[in-house]
Amino acid sequence: MSTIDLTRELDREAVPYELIPHRRTTTAGEEASAIGVRPDEVAKTIVLTTSDGFLRAVLPASERLDLGKVRARLLHPQHVRLATEAELAATYPMFEVGAVPPVGGPVRDRTIVDHKLAMLDSVVLEAGSHNESVRMQVKDLLLLAEAEIADICEDGGAER
């Protein structure tokens, strides 16, 4: 697996980015540590299944997703759950499981970006593999993903 699908889309859309190789990581917090940035500068993408298809929730690595807040933004809120590893592998075979970026792949999923990330100038995100990341301007991410901006993090501060 590689970052080719994401970088191809960024190149096609003429979106500037920096490709950052790093040691293999399995969480966004580890990714932040591996590249020497604060966890709130790294976006993690959590793929959810909904009645309307997949949804990518994008939030700072330092935060936890509030499914109740996500449900409040959907038409069919009773049918929201985390995608399984099998669903991720079948739907996004071009990305490593657990490294699905906010954009790219076979379909344009609905994307919700937490308002804390939307306030940043740039963000680091997994690029489809556990050993490469991409740094890009948040404004470009929002446009490319056609993302909604919302408060989707749990209240009470960052993860411990």
Largest CA distance in the chain: 40
Residue 107 binned pLDDT confidence (cut-offs 50, 70, 90): confident
Name the pTM for this structure.
0.92
Give the C-alpha separation, 26 to 31, whole Å: 7
Which residue bears the tokens 């050993």? 131
Q: What is the pLDDT of residues 27-59, one digit of tens each?
A: 888 999 999 999 999 999 999 999 889 999 999
Residue 12 binned pLDDT confidence (cut-offs 50, 70, 90): very high
Report the first-to-last Cα separation within the chain, whole angstroms: 31
Q: What is the pLDDT of residue 75?
A: 74
Q: What is the pLDDT of residue 158?
A: 56
Q: What is the pLDDT of residue 140?
A: 97
Closest CA to 9 of 102, 74, 117, 138: 102
DSSP the chain: --SHHHHHHHHHTT--EEEEE-S--SSHHHHHHHHT--GGGEEEEEEEEETTEEEEEEEETTS-B-HHHHHTTSSSTTS-EEPPHHHHHHH-TTS-TT---SS-SSS--EEEEEHHHHTSSEEEEEEEETTEEEEEEHHHHHHHHT-EEE--BPSSSS--
